[in-house]
Amino acid sequence: MFDRDDGALDRVIRQLRQPVSIDPALDARVMEEIAADAAPGRLATPRPRFPLRGARWPWLAAAAVLGAILIARPWSAGGDTDALNAFQFVLVAPQASSVSLVGDFNDWDPARSPMQTAQGIWATTVPLPPGRYRYAFLVNGVEWRADPGAPRAGDDEFGTPSSVITVGGKGS
């Protein structure tokens, strides 16, 4: 790459470490200039004028309504179809003491999506963007189960079952 010249490097470092002298009157001079520019009659930018003097509020009201319409965008009632949609995953496992949902959407990390139970019905909700995801349930930290209500992943390459969920995108 290049040969390092430690002597030159040390000299540069010493130069950079030299204290910088600043004129103590600098702040005062800057403030004087600002005050002079801000004096009446010396504003560089003229104040904007409304086309109809005295009719300022109707214009402001119209702008507010237009802004509200643009924000609400009622013509796109379906929203962005590529946005996240929430999906609920459910497993009936009355004997289980813990169930985690793991898959492509949470880096296969059992700690990320622990499921909550109500009388043996374990459930959790996960937001998913469009795509195809493999996932499985980890029961009691040791037992892998596929989702009985979803298609099975065709290639269980690691010897345990997985399921797949496909989230459609635009044009679905």
Partner 1 sequence: MMITALLLIVQVAAQDPRLERLDPATRSLVVSVVDSAKAVGLPGEPLIQRALEGATKGALGPRIVTAVRRLATDLGTARAALGAGVTTPELEAGAAALRAGAGPDVLTHLRDARRPPLTMALAVLADLVASGVPADSASAVVLALAPSARDADLVEFRRAVERDISLGAPPGAAAAVRAANTGIRLGADAGNPPRPASRQ
**Residue ranges that bind partner 1, judged by CB under 8 A:** 1, 102, 104, 107-110, 130-132, 134, 144, 151-155, 157-160, 162, 164, 166-172
CB of 40 to partner 1, least distance (A): 58
Cβ closest to partner 1, residue 120 vs residue 148: 148
Structure tokens at 16: 């950079």
CB of 157 to partner 1, least distance (A): 4
Cβ closest to partner 1, residue 5 vs residue 27: 5
Cβ closest to partner 1, residue 116 vs residue 160: 160
Cβ closest to partner 1, residue 58 vs residue 169: 169
Structure tokens at 163: 């399921």
Structure tokens at 54: 């005295």
CB of 169 to partner 1, least distance (A): 5
Q: Which helix (H) or strand (E) holds 133?
A: strand 131-139
Q: Rounded CA gap, 84 and 67, in Å?
A: 25
Where are the alpha helices (H) located in 73-118, listed in sequence order?
none
Cβ(102)–Cβ(110) under 8 Å?
yes
Nearest to 121 by CA among 141, 142, 95: 95
CB of 121 to partner 1, least distance (A): 21
Structure tokens at 101: 């949902």
Cβ closest to partner 1, residue 123 vs residue 130: 130
Beta carbons within 10 angstroms of residue 47's beta carbon: 5
CB of 29 to partner 1, least distance (A): 47
